[in-house]
Each structure stands twice: as C-alpha cells, then as structure tokens.
Amino acid sequence: MKNIVIFASGAGSNARKIIDHFKGSDLARVTLILSNKADAGILKIAEREQIPAVLIDKELFFRGDTYVKLLQEAQADLIVLAGFLWKVPANLVQAFPGRIINIHPALLPKFGGKGMYGHFVHEAVLAAGEKESGITIHYVNEKYDEGAIILQERCAVSVDDTPETLARKVQVLEHTWFPVIVERLLTQ
C-alpha cells in the first residue's frame, strides 16, 4: 500500500476528492495531511476521515529538516500540494525527487508564480482576454509553478465569464483529473 501525503491550506475540495478516490483502494491511501492554517477546511476533513493531520510551524518549515524527517517517517510515496500556497523549501524538494506534485488553476507557464492563486488567477486570465483556461498538474521544483508539466486540461473562456464562473469550470477539471493523475503516478 502506497502512502499519499497532502499539503493544503484552503477549503480542501481537491484533497477531499483524492481522499475519496482512494477509499477502499488496494493501491494507496491518504495517510497524512499537513496544513499551514489552523482554520483550513482540510483539517476538519482530516478529523472526520480520521487521517492524521499536522499544523505546520512556519519557522521549522523554512529552517532545518523537521518536515523532511516527518515525511520520511511517514514513508510518503507521493506528496500532493492541493491548494498549498507556500513555496516548498529546497531540502524538501531534494529529499523527494519527482515525488512532489502541485495543481495550478490555469494553463502554465502563463498566470503562474508568486501571488497567482485563487481568484487572482481567474481575474488575470479574464483581463488578458484569453479564449481558454484550464488546469496544470506539474512536478514541484524550487521555483513557484515551474516544474515539469504532467498534464494540462482546457476549458473555454466565454465573454460573459466572471472570475467565479471561470473558477467553477476550472474546479470541475481539477476534481476530475487530480485523483486520476495521482493514481497514474503511483502505478507507473
């Protein structure tokens, strides 16, 4: 059985899809959840699902290898960032080469980088007059949103889209594809 570790700071809807996808699976389970926000929805989901959860200490996260050790002890096979906004420190990236992935709610390399998250992304896509948007699932390296792309899926942007309607279209793609890609990476 493989171990999936999820990092999330927000509502946790993607994390929940992944948890549900692997319930009853012979392949893998979500065995640990980390969050940097005490009030993140994901922590409530973890509690309900009885998945161990850790609130990340900022000082320790960016200095030393507390979290490298924690993830090694947890025998993490795949680390999934699902709405986690902090940059992953280099020591963590290096400890898990090719085993940390992220999802971004736009078609990278456009509309990525620091500060490009949530509604900011969708606002920027609309302001640029893009005809399509979508999702990017990619490996995590030391730079924000620049790791090798694993999958992109697209949706149309219509003239009457608002950041909210576009967010919903993109979220459908996220929920559909993220669990599938996690499974694919674990079986490769």
**Cβ closest to ligand GRF, residue 15 vs residue 124:** 15
For the chain, the distance separating the N- and C-terminal CA atoms, rounded to the nearest angstrom, is: 14
Contacts of 95 by beta carbon, 8 Å cutoff, 6+ apart: 65, 68, 71, 72
Helix H, strand E, coil C: the string for 112-137 is CCCCCCHHHHHHHHHHCCCCEEEEEE
Bridge partners of residue 55, in order along the sequence: 35
Tokens of 14: 């993607």
**Cβ closest to ligand GRF, residue 65 vs residue 149:** 149
Is position 70 an interface residue for ligand GRF (rule: CB under 6 A)?
no
**Residue 64 to residue 49: CA distance in whole angstroms:** 30
Residue type (1 letter), 32: L
Q: Which residue is nearest to ligand GRF (CB)?
A: 83
Segment interacting with ligand GRF (CB under 6 A) among 5-13, 93-101, 122-130, 151-159? 5-13
Return the residue of 4, 8, 157, 182 that touches ligand GRF, per CB under 6 A.
8
**CB 65 within 8 Å of CB 88:** no
Is position 147 an interface residue for ligand GRF (rule: CB under 6 A)?
no
Is position 183 an interface residue for ligand GRF (rule: CB under 6 A)?
no
Site string for ligand GRF, 100-139 (x = CB under 6 A): ---xxx----------------------------------
Catalytic status, residue 175: no
Residue reference for tokens 């893998």: 28
- From the list 104, 119, 122, 175, the catalytic residue is 104
**Residue 129 to residue 95: CA distance in whole angstroms:** 40
Nearest distance from residue 117's CB to ligand GRF, in Å? 6
Bridge partners of residue 3, in order along the sequence: 29
Nearest distance from residue 12's CB to ligand GRF, in Å? 5
Segment interacting with ligand GRF (CB under 6 A) among 11-19, 21-29, 44-52, 63-71? 11-19
Return the residue of 4, 5, 7, 14 that touches ligand GRF, per CB under 6 A.
14
Residues annotated as part of the active site = 104
